[in-house]
Amino acid sequence: MNGFGGFLLRRAVGTVVTLLAISVLIYVVFYATPGNVAQITCGPRCSPEQVRQVAGQLKLDDPLYLRYWHFLEGIFVGRDYSTGTSVAHCPAPCLGLSYQSDRQVTDIILTKLPVSLSLVLGAMVLWLVIGVGTGVLSAWRRGRFSERVLTAVTLAGWATPVFVLGLVLMIVVCGELQLLPFPQYVNFADDPEQWAWNLLLPWLSLALIEAAAFARLTRASMLETLAEDHIRTFRAYGVGERAIVGRHALRGALAPVIALNANNVGSAVGGAVLTETLFGLPGIGQELVHAVKVVDLPVVVGMVLVVGFFVVIANAVADVLYAVADRRVVLA
């Protein structure tokens, strides 16, 4: 197949292969480690009887490839788990059973995922608006005092750790000025206004750091685009500078911004650990830290898989949007 349809098919096949490769790598790293795999999986609080039960559930006597097949089978069709006195079915997508809380890992992730998505998607809107806007303005005002100020601000933002910025914002905005309440997660369905109000400070903390990278990338892309021949042609025909920057140059500069944004959204789902911990948000990051502390291996594996899934899907979407912005990519 040629054209855009063939491009989409190639990207879809590549995405599926990448996801399978990630699942193999994660399974081998966590379940083929030296030592008592059943003890590591069950955690330090498990009794010898529970460890033997876990060893039976994981079928540790089977070859590694067969155990991985059972793991993959659970994701697509579900699995049965023995609880000692009965058999419990884990429906697809089954990522395992937490031996610390006796809950299905999928249920734990579905409970925590809305919090992390609320944090990341809200911050994404802010970092795109602030970062792209600052980058365009900086390129437009190149060589002037305002451009140097914007460059200094973005460099300072890029160098500031998120926990430092978040702590300063919380002390100043919530403590001294009392402009916002101390963040406390509220479900969107319960009260959309309070949901946004309580997440505004975490959004700003995460967005201001990321916006610095977008500002620098947008500025560099805009300067490169503004130096191209077709932009000089527009100027020769008397097209206004604002129209050139906003309508023509910006579109040409958006392709690398799209790629960076997709990568940031995917990685930020699992990388917002510091933000969630600092503001006490019960998301995937905070749950992952807890699972590592109590050595709840099925939860750790499940969450790492979910984070990997978001990174791969986000980059696949970026490839498609990149091709829409620049049709030359379809021919690559």
- Report which of 295, 284, 299 is spatially closest to residue 46, judged by C-alpha positions: 295
CA 149 to mean position of chain CA atoms: 30
Domain ranges, ordered by start, for the chain: 4-105, 108-329
Look at residue 83 and tell me whether its pLDDT is greater than 60: no
Q: Confirm whether pTM is higher than 0.85.
A: no
**7 close to 304: Cβ distance less than 8 angstroms:** no
The CATH superfamily label for domain 108-329 reads: MetI-like (1.10.3720.10)
pLDDT of residue 262: 75
Q: Over the stretch 40-62, which tens digit does the pLDDT of each residue have? A: 777 777 778 877 877 777 777 78
| Confidence check: pLDDT of 277 > 90 | no
Has residue 182 got a pLDDT over 60?
yes
DSSP reduced 3-state for 196: helix
Directed axis angle between helix 64-77 and helix 3-31, to 10°? 120
pLDDT tens track for 140-173: 777 777 777 877 777 777 777 777 888 888 888 8
Report for 21-35, 139-153, 185-199, 206-220: range of highest mean pLDDT: 185-199
Q: Token digits for 290? A: 């807890």
Backbone angles phi, psi at 9, to 5 degrees: -65, -45
